[in-house]
Amino acid sequence: MLPALPLGLLTLPTRPVLLLLGLWLGVTLVEREGRQRGTGSSLAVDALWGAAAGYLAGRMGALLPYGLSSPLDLLTLIRPLDPALAPLPALLAAAGVIAWRWHRHRIPWRVGLDAMAPLLLVMAVAWALGDWAEGRRYGEPTAIPFLAALGGGSRHPVQLYEAGLGFLAFVVWHRVRKRLPAPGSSFLLALTLYSAARLIAEGFRAESLTWMGFRVPQLLAFAGLMIGLVGLARIERRSWNP
């Protein structure tokens, strides 16, 4: 675990640094993908607006259910990259803002999703590393000394598994995406690879929501995997039968 980064006279919290680096790299890749698809830098700006809206919505979703004792407590909503975020409100707000901007600028949604794919993969890796740095989302107990040490002394470092598999997914996506020129295929490839990574990593997670004996995150990952594979198969079929 590495909750803080000592940099001479400064000590910075690791998680915010990782998330900011992930956002910077992801937006840079979105801009590159957008330029290759003829949209210029507008998709990168859309990503930044979506990230800002998602962060505020996630903070509100995490804090407002507990109530605010005074109006000054609203200032905590904009505290930089606080770890307390509600994922669903954050994702819905980010998707809504980005979709609105795409509609306003007349950007085809398949082209937009393809350009956003690297941002999603990079942020997933950064988030997993941030979880490991702060000791969040523990893994199952393990007796393997090396893995136990990385996991805090007794558990699988499942966050590192997730980050490693996510990085592998990004590398494969980066190498294969140009072979899938049809709009939407790049995003579906990223969805397939990341869902496969989560499906594996969640098998080592200790604290996981279950439904009818199944782990909900694995069910969602399996659904994403099927959606990605079926979508890619349909696109490939259309390319062979124009």
Query: Where is average pLDDT lowest: 79-83, 86-90, 96-100, 165-169?
Result: 79-83
Phi, psi (rounded to 5 degrees) for 186: -65, -40
Q: In whole angstroms, give the CA distance from residue 223 to residue 175.
A: 24
pLDDT average, residue stretch 149-153: 81
215 pairs with which residues across the strands? Answer: 210
Q: Is the pTM of this model over 0.85?
A: yes
**CA 117 distance to own-chain centroid:** 10
* pLDDT at residue 137, rounded to an integer: 81
Residue 242: pLDDT band with limits 50, 70, 90: low
Is the pLDDT assigned to residue 54 strictly greater than 80?
Answer: yes
- Quote the pLDDT of residue 70: 63
% the chain with pLDDT above 70: 89
- Among 22-26, 55-59, 82-86, the least confident range: 82-86
Map residue 54 onto helix, strand or coil.
helix
Domain ranges of the chain: 109-242
Statement: residue 21 has pLDDT above 90 = yes
Is residue 103 classed exposed, middle or buried when 0-12, 13-18 and 19+ CB atoms within 10 A define those classes? exposed
CB 81 within 8 A of CB 20: yes
Counting residues of the chain whose pLDDT is more than 90, the rounded percentage is: 47
| CB 33 within 8 Å of CB 115 | yes
Alpha carbons 212 and 13: distance in angstroms, whole number:
39
Mean pLDDT of the chain: 86
Q: What's the pLDDT at 81?
A: 54
Other beta carbons less than 10 A from residue 102's beta carbon = 19
Tokens of 185: 């295929």
Structure confidence at residue 38 (pLDDT): 82
Read off the pLDDT band of 177 (50, 70, 90): confident
User: Residue 87: what pLDDT?
Assistant: 80
- Band of pLDDT at residue 147, cut at 50, 70 and 90: confident
Residue 68's pLDDT is what?
Answer: 63
List the single range of 10-14, 22-26, 145-149 with lowest mean pLDDT.
Answer: 10-14
Q: Does position 172 have pLDDT exceeding 90, yes or no? A: yes
Residue type, 1: M
pLDDT value at 185 more than 80: yes
Q: Above 80 in pLDDT, residue 161?
A: yes
Cα of first residue to Cα of last residue in the chain, in angstroms, is 53
